[in-house]
Structure 1
Amino acid sequence: MAEIRKVNLMEKLALFSNHWHPRIVGELNGQHVKLVKFQGEFVWHKHDDEDELFLVVQGRFRMDLPERELWLEEGEFLIVPRGVMHRPVAEQEVHVLLFEPSSTLNTGNERNEKTVEMPEWI
């Protein structure tokens, strides 16, 4: 039987400081629960086969979409459907929980210096 454990998001977020580098904190049904810190602009990208959920734990950020932008505040989330171009932007550091299939590459269809091939577990 798998171990059942609780996860404290604030404790996990205190374990790292770099931006745009997601860490895995849980897994269920082929999905990863990840924590990430954003600051600045990310790259425009899309995920052809995966939807992504972004939940703001602390701070706020803007999600740029092709036709509009959405601001997310603490306690709010949005789901970016597969195939939709998007770009997170954070004027100040924001802490975000991601829920996405384990196959999801953080930069989607783009590869650059912010691409994380194998997120680490914390």
Structure 2
Amino acid sequence: MSNETAARGRDPIALSDALASFDALWSPRIVTRVNDYDVRVAKVEGEYLWHVHENTDEFFLVVEGEVDIALRDEAGERTVTLPRGSVFTVPRGTEHKPIARGRASILLFEPTGTLTVGDRHEEIPDYVDATTGHALV
């Protein structure tokens, strides 16, 4: 099944199969598209980096494991903990940093073409894949 076929809704996609198709951390794969949005899955472990999406919200669903999301905004800094099966939306313009203390898997919902590092223009660490998402193979 090609990504294009799946994106058009002709075949169902098992998230477990999608996640089993790659090993790279912090390197999301596009599972399907909904209107002008990508549905991406990623394996995560450790800390990501602080970043912000000025023009879009970012939706997280924890598929496996547990993920913390540190947040900074005009109200200050706080962290939300997302156990397996939890969802959270980071509002546009909110600086945030996902953290997985153990191996975890997440599903993201973002406008097609959204860069994983948001509007960050500083040096990006080697372990971070600054991408708009990779095709699911």
Question: Quick check: TM above 0.5?
Answer: yes
RMSD: 1.3
- Bigger share in strand: 2
Please give the residue correspondences for 1:4-43 in structure 2 after superposition, counting only pairs within 5 Å. 4-43=10-49
Number of corresponding residues: 121
Task: Tell me by how many angstroms 1:103 deviates.
Answer: 2.3
From 63, 67, 78, give the equivalent of 1:57: 63
Q: TM-score w.r.t. structure 2 length?
A: 0.83
CA distance in 2, matches of 1:117, 1:97: 15
Task: Tell me by how many angstroms 1:53 deviates.
Answer: 0.4
Is residue 97 of structure 1 aligned with residue 111 of structure 2? Answer: no
Q: TM-score w.r.t. structure 1 length?
A: 0.93
Runs of 4+ in 1 over 4 A off after TM superposition: none
From 107, 114, 117, give the equivalent of 2:117: 107
CA distance in 1, matches of 2:105, 2:20: 10
Equivalent residue, structure 2, for 1:68: 78
Q: What amino acid sits opposite 2:118 in the alignment?
A: G
From 89, 95, 98, give the equivalent of 1:85: 95
Q: State percent identity of aligned pairs.
A: 36
